[in-house]
């Protein structure tokens, strides 16, 4: 895994189903020196526009799923995905769909961290 100080681009996603909790995480993470952090909790379904400028993108699982399905973002560009509230990941939940999609690709896999 690349560190934020290495030359190649480091990219992490912090995913959570509740926008209010995402805003709390954003307030904490933006205080970390050296990390460019953005929160995307609006109505736009594509988060790929942020990957060039930011190292940490805080968003909903559905938005990352939409970007992966449309190939706007490739899993080979993602270093870490953090699933908040991962205990909800059952059935057709977007977390489950992301994991199925990533496991079906023959590319570098990101580190997955699940929080509950």
Percent of the chain past pLDDT 90, that is, above it, reads 48
Number of domains in the chain: 1
pTM of the model: 0.85
Q: Is residue 36 part of a domain?
A: yes
Q: Is residue 6 part of a domain?
A: no
Q: Is residue 2 part of a domain?
A: no
Task: Please report the beta strands in 16-66, taking only residues with DSSP state E, as ranges in sequence order.
Answer: 37-40, 56-59
The whole-angstrom separation of Cα 10 and Cα 20 is 26
- Whether pLDDT at 5 is above 50: no
Task: Dump pLDDT digits (tens) for 25-81.
Answer: 898 888 887 889 999 866 666 788 888 889 999 999 999 999 999 989 988 899 999
Determine contact, residues 10/79, Cβ cutoff 8 Å: yes
Average pLDDT over residues 5-33: 83
Residue-range definition of the domain harbouring residue 82: 12-114
Task: Please report the beta strands in 16-96, taking only residues with DSSP state E, as ranges in sequence order.
Answer: 37-40, 56-59, 80-83
Mean pLDDT of the chain: 86
């Amino acid at each position: 895994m690349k560190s934020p100080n290495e030359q190649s681009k480091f990219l992490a996603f912090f995913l959570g189903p509740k926008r209010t909790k995402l805003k709390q995480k954003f307030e904490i993470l933006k205080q970390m020196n050296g990390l460019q952090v953005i929160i995307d909790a609006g109505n736009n379904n594509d988060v790929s526009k942020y990957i060039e400028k930011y190292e940490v993108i805080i968003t909903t699982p559905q938005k990352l799923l939409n970007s992966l399905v449309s190939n706007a973002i490739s899993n080979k560009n993602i270093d870490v995905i953090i699933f908040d509230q991962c205990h909800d990941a059952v059935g057709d939940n977007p977390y489950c769909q992301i994991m199925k999609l990533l496991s079906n690709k023959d590319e570098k896999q990101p580190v997955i961290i699940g929080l509950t």
